[in-house]
Amino acid sequence: MKISDTQLELIDRQVKRILKSDNYYSGVYKKAGITGINSEEDFYRIPFTDKADLRNAYPLGIQAVPDEEVVRIHSSSGTTGMPVIIPYTAKDVDDWSTMFARCYEIAGITAKDRIQITPGYGLWTAGIGFQAGCEKLGAMAIPMGPGNTEKQLQMMIDLESTVICATSSYALLLAEEINKRGLKDKIKLKKGVIGSERWSDAKRAYIARELGIELYDIYGLTEIYGPGIGINCPDQTGMHIFDDYLYIEIIDPVTGEVLPDGQEGEIVITTLVKEGAPLLRFRTHDLSHIIPGECSCGRSYPRLDTIKGRSDDMFKIHGVNMFPSQVEELLSQVDGVSSEYKIDLAHDDSKNRDIFMVTVEAEGRVDFAKTGEEIKRLFKSRLNATPKVAVVSINTLPRSEKKTKRVFDHRDE
């Protein structure tokens, strides 16, 4: 994706603002001899950055404005403990809600809609982002936060919610619950806006069918505003990303080489106007590709395909690199198997060999032993590694309201 002159100019401004701020990155850029960005070549000299830098700069080392301009912080924790703190100015908060309102509009949601928001409120960016976008749009926010399914369903019915915002896991849980209780005729939902957790086509189809709604994937991460920096349009050809606020690149996650449009790799984001914590060439570790060409909807915002997984979710077993997305795709082709699964990786010291264990759920109508054999065969032929497979009944594996952890590596325990 070529950088436009306007984008280059904005990035130049960002670099100068950072250098003046004396924050963590001003040190990095001074050391790299970066004083301004006048060309594409200059841009590519900006070093990549990622969450590890943000942890190094904890708590407020990446703040690029005086304290009196910061109106809020958000935080993301991730798996390794040390949190990351992102300061926002009033303009950052407003820009974020503008983008989020734009997401709702692209999904065909209007001021007449009633938006039930189930992502969590608090330090992380989820609930409050959905809320601010909803208010900017002028729709009615029903700020539920996560959990309490009983109450969720009651509000959904009594207030006649037309839009549900949720993680895919929680949307699935709600769909299953509505199905179980026979409430489908009582709900008025038309659309679902689903957080950027990657999900399988099977799960998507189930939720869409059971709730009778259109689904929209919203993209974002705490380090870059939060959810709401892009969404897919009704033409469902990928997520439009707002290039007046962000510049996106796709790189090879191993070599760092910038890849041409259409090629799969890691998403790298540069914030063009963020004030509180500007980030340039931030490695998201999310895997996708830029969809070349214009969307049939006529919007010119560039498009990212659905997130395929995370470069750091990749696991290695029996010498093979594997992504959870490949496992999901494979399982979605097996009759009677649900979209929930669990992978355990362990080491058998006595045989000095890794153990690869896959647990899947199957409907009672299928033969568990045969299903297990079929899955084993598929793994061997498609992914070149043969797991031990346990087939259990539907609803045996835990459902989560947040992002579900599916791969458990016990090898260095």
Nearer to Zn ion, 117 or 233 (CB): 233
Q: What 8-state DSSP symbol labels residue 67?
A: G
Query: Could you tell me the smallest distance in angstroms from the CB atom of residue 235 to Zn ion?
Result: 5
Pairing of strands 70-76, 84-89: antiparallel
Query: Could you tell me the smallest distance in angstroms from the CB atom of residue 237 to Zn ion?
Result: 6
Pairing of strands 265-271, 282-288: antiparallel
Q: What 8-state DSSP symbol labels residue 169?
A: H
Q: Which of 273, 291, 297, 357 binds Zn ion (CB under 5 A)?
A: 297
Nearer to Zn ion, 127 or 302 (CB): 302
Number of neighbouring beta carbons within 10 Å of residue 360: 25
To 10 degrees, the CA torsion angle through 57, 61, 63, 66?
170
The stretch near Zn ion (CB under 5 A) out of 225-233, 278-286, 317-325, 402-410 is 225-233
Pairing of strands 309-310, 282-288: antiparallel
Q: Which of 233, 248, 250, 358 binds Zn ion (CB under 5 A)?
A: 233
Nearer to Zn ion, 73 or 297 (CB): 297
The stretch near Zn ion (CB under 5 A) out of 186-194, 213-221, 287-295, 332-340 is 287-295
The stretch near Zn ion (CB under 5 A) out of 209-217, 241-249, 263-271, 290-298 is 290-298
The stretch near Zn ion (CB under 5 A) out of 84-92, 227-235, 274-282, 371-379 is 227-235
Query: Could you tell me the smallest distance in angstroms from the CB atom of residue 192 to Zn ion?
Result: 18
Should residue 239 be labelled a site residue for Zn ion when binding is judged by CB under 5 A? no
How many whole angstroms separate alpha carbon 10 and alpha carbon 410?
46
Nearer to Zn ion, 124 or 301 (CB): 301
The stretch near Zn ion (CB under 5 A) out of 65-73, 188-196, 250-258, 289-297 is 289-297
Nearer to Zn ion, 9 or 235 (CB): 235
CA-angle at 17, arms to 10 and 266, nearest 5°? 60
To which H or E segment does residue 179 belong?
helix 168-181
The sign one gets for the Cα dihedral 247, 248, 254, 257 is negative
To 10 degrees, the CA torsion angle through 361, 363, 364, 368?
-50
Query: Could you tell me the smallest distance in angstroms from the CB atom of residue 295 to Zn ion?
Result: 3
Nearer to Zn ion, 177 or 214 (CB): 214
CB 58 within 8 A of CB 77: no
Closest CA to 62 of 246, 269, 274, 272: 274
Collapsing DSSP to helix, strand or coil, 263 comes out as coil
Query: Could you tell me the smallest distance in angstroms from the CB atom of residue 301 to Zn ion?
Result: 8
Q: Which residues make Cβ contacts (< 8 Å) with residue 6, sequence separation at least 6?
A: none
Nearer to Zn ion, 233 or 290 (CB): 233
Should residue 295 be labelled a site residue for Zn ion when binding is judged by CB under 5 A? yes
Kindly determine how many residues on this chain lie close enough to bind Zn ion according to the rule CB under 5 A.
5
The stretch near Zn ion (CB under 5 A) out of 9-17, 22-30, 52-60, 232-240 is 232-240
Query: Could you tell me the smallest distance in angstroms from the CB atom of residue 76 to Zn ion?
Result: 29
Length of the chain: 413
Query: Could you tell me the smallest distance in angstroms from the CB atom of residue 303 to Zn ion?
Result: 7
The sign one gets for the Cα dihedral 134, 135, 139, 145 is positive
Which residues in this chain contact Zn ion in the complex, by CB under 5 A? 233, 235, 295, 297, 299
